[in-house]
Structure 1
Amino acid sequence: MKPLLIDFDGVIKIGNEITPDAKEFFEFINKSNIPACILSNSTLRTSGLMKNFLKDKGLELRIPAFTAFDVTLEFVKKNYSKVKVYCRDYLIHHFEGMIDNENPQAVVIGDIGNRWNYDTMNEIFNYVMNGAEIIAMHKNKFWQPEGKLILDAGAFITAIEFATGKQATVIGKPSPLYFKTAVEKLGFSFQQGFIMIGDDLENDVLAAQAIGGKGILILTGKTKSEEIEDNIPNFIVNSLSEAMTIIKKLFTKKFD
């Protein structure tokens, strides 16, 4: 068997609601004993907050969940003692005892919403020029909250890289490190392969396929069918219900 990695935003959560077939999908995963986890690029939630959100919507999650915030926090604590962090205010306490506004070893960048402006960009630029490394929770180009496309942190991180000549260490998708971490936390060898279902053609699906995984693109989020062109996912579905059919085929031996 190969582990199944499931994106969150655009797949399970659309806007501020869960998809109509999400409960059925997770009942299927649980009943079939498919090794699975949620692998989200979210920097707005820890896995605990994600599970609470789903519970409030009537979905009790029984599989592990990882967010880019969780894995970044783990990485930073292993590698640095002094950091400057750009994330939502309600998450900053997770870095307690590590915050250094004067001479940080690294600048950790997540989602700060409309706080992106020239002063913020220039502040980060100067930290990096003074020797700080860049740690990106993810490098998404854009996302789609409430049905509207907006710039994501990746656009600003790329600008910092260009101005400083330094490359960020990217923790979230499409980083192979993130996929590898999830697969191994499920108790599998990364070399055995995995399956990724997501709404982001580039960061979820093609990134998984590029490192030996199989990709299922779901058209409920940011990617539309006309955007696929020559970048072909292994599978394309319109809903989690359709994804279940594909997953059954991929686990044929288990369902015989």
Structure 2
Amino acid sequence: MGRFVPKCVLIDLSGTVHIENSIVAGAARAIDRIRKSGISFRFVTNSSKESVASLFTRLVGLGVNLSPGDLFTSLTATKQYVLRRKCRPMLFLEENAQQDFKDVSVVDPNSVVIGLAPSMFNYEKLTEAFNCLKNAENAELIAINKSRYLQRQHGLVLGGGAFVAALEYSTGLTATVVGKPSRKFFEQSIADFEGVVVEDCIMIGDDVQDDVAGAQAIGMKGILVQTGKYRPGDETKINPAPYLTLPSLVDAIDHVIELHSNGCET
């Protein structure tokens, strides 16, 4: 059997490193450990409610040691997609998140970009998005992610995926999903790590579908952590099962560092 030695680690944020404005126990220390180990890593997040700058500031305030280059977000990937496609989107986003699209033309929209926007999830705004998609020629529905649900401090809450599905149903369009579990998103997240391919990577997250199944579908290994949105039995919901299911990011980073130091029979 070959020996697997990880060259790169992708780490989810919400539910894995933090839950809203609280750090997950031990997460900051675990991140310090992976940084000192010399293993390449990046935070990959489907967060779409706030700008990258706002997210960065919040994480630093929680005691997370990171630099702007450590983050790859679905907002960033979506902006790149919109510019590449020359879309003029209606931004179905919270005002904070719209800051990342300041240099994108939104005049005479021919598409809708939708993320987690609780203040806009109402009949009037959804109807506005619906009409934009029905009236524009070759309209495109662009989902920053299609998250089913996420963890807040008081419990689970609906993700943006339910509202993407509503627009899909009413317009007859199929959304382009830019963030996790998109193959392109994972590939973009490691593109500037020289000599790293997907088979060299481990993804760590609390979402068995978007984090783990998505990563494993393209050849990465996936570690499911039992924090955030994780619920007992989640590890049985995908095939193949997660490479590992561990209590927290602390345990996942310990395992990665051990693999990197000693190698492991696959």
TM-score scaled by structure 2?
0.87
Deviations 1:82-107 (A, max 9, x none): 22111111232433354436x31211
Partner-residue secondary structure (3-state), 1:149: strand
Name the structure 2 match of 1:145. Answer: 152
Distance 1:51 1:57, change over 3 A: same
Name the structure 2 match of 1:136. Answer: 143
The Cα shift of 1:234 comes to 0.6
Name the structure 2 match of 1:158. Answer: 165
Q: Does 1:71 align with 2:80?
A: no
Cα distance in 2 between the residues matched to 1:203 and 1:97:
29
Deviations 1:128-184 (A, max 9, x none): 112321111111011112232111111111121122221111111011111000011
Alignment partner of 2:251 out of 216, 236, 242: 242
Paired AA for residue 246 in structure 1: H
Cα distance in 2 between the residues matched to 1:210 and 1:18:
29
Partner-residue secondary structure (3-state), 1:144: strand
- Aligned-pair identity in percent equals 32
Name the structure 2 match of 1:119. Answer: 124
Name the structure 2 match of 1:85. Answer: 91
- Higher mean C-alpha displacement, 18-27 vs 207-216: 18-27
- State whether residues 36 and 186 of structure 1, in contact with CA within 8 Å, keep that contact through their aligned partners in structure 2: no
Cα distance in 1 between the residues matched to 2:243 and 2:224:
8
Cα distance in 2 between the residues matched to 1:38 and 1:85:
24
Alignment partner of 2:19 out of 14, 17, 27: 14
- State whether residues 80 and 106 of structure 1, in contact with CA within 8 Å, keep that contact through their aligned partners in structure 2: no
- State whether residues 34 and 257 of structure 2, in contact with CA within 8 Å, keep that contact through their aligned partners in structure 1: no
Name the structure 2 match of 1:109. Answer: 114
Cα distance in 1 between the residues matched to 2:31 and 2:255:
15
Name the structure 2 match of 1:251. Answer: 260
Deviations 1:102-139 (A, max 9, x none): x3121111121142112222221111112321111111
Paired AA for residue 100 in structure 1: V
Partner-residue secondary structure (3-state), 2:98: helix
Paired AA for residue 233 in structure 1: P
- State whether residues 93 and 115 of structure 2, in contact with CA within 8 Å, keep that contact through their aligned partners in structure 1: yes
- Higher mean C-alpha displacement, 229-238 vs 42-51: 42-51
Name the structure 1 match of 2:29. Answer: 24
Q: Does 1:202 align with 2:209?
A: yes
- State whether residues 49 and 96 of structure 2, in contact with CA within 8 Å, keep that contact through their aligned partners in structure 1: no
Name the structure 1 match of 2:194. Answer: 187
- Structure 2 matches for 1:170-181, cutoff 5 A? 170-181=177-188
Partner-residue secondary structure (3-state), 1:42: coil
Cα distance in 2 between the residues matched to 1:122 and 1:30:
46
Cα distance in 2 between the residues matched to 1:70 and 1:135:
13
Distance 1:28 1:38, change over 3 A: same
Name the structure 1 match of 2:235. Answer: 228
- Higher mean C-alpha displacement, 205-214 vs 73-82: 73-82
- State whether residues 7 and 200 of structure 2, in contact with CA within 8 Å, keep that contact through their aligned partners in structure 1: yes
Cα distance in 1 between the residues matched to 2:195 and 2:134:
40
Partner-residue secondary structure (3-state), 2:245: strand
- State whether residues 21 and 58 of structure 2, in contact with CA within 8 Å, keep that contact through their aligned partners in structure 1: no
Segments of 5+ residues of structure 1 without an aligned counterpart are none
Name the structure 1 match of 2:57. Answer: 52
Cα distance in 1 between the residues matched to 2:182 and 2:60:
29
Name the structure 2 match of 1:36. Answer: 41
Q: 1 or 2 for the larger relative contact order (CA 8 Å, sep ≥6)? A: 2
Alignment partner of 1:94 out of 97, 100, 105: 100
- State whether residues 224 and 235 of structure 2, in contact with CA within 8 Å, keep that contact through their aligned partners in structure 1: no
Structural RMSD (CA): 2.1
- State whether residues 85 and 99 of structure 1, in contact with CA within 8 Å, keep that contact through their aligned partners in structure 2: no
- State whether residues 197 and 217 of structure 1, in contact with CA within 8 Å, keep that contact through their aligned partners in structure 2: yes
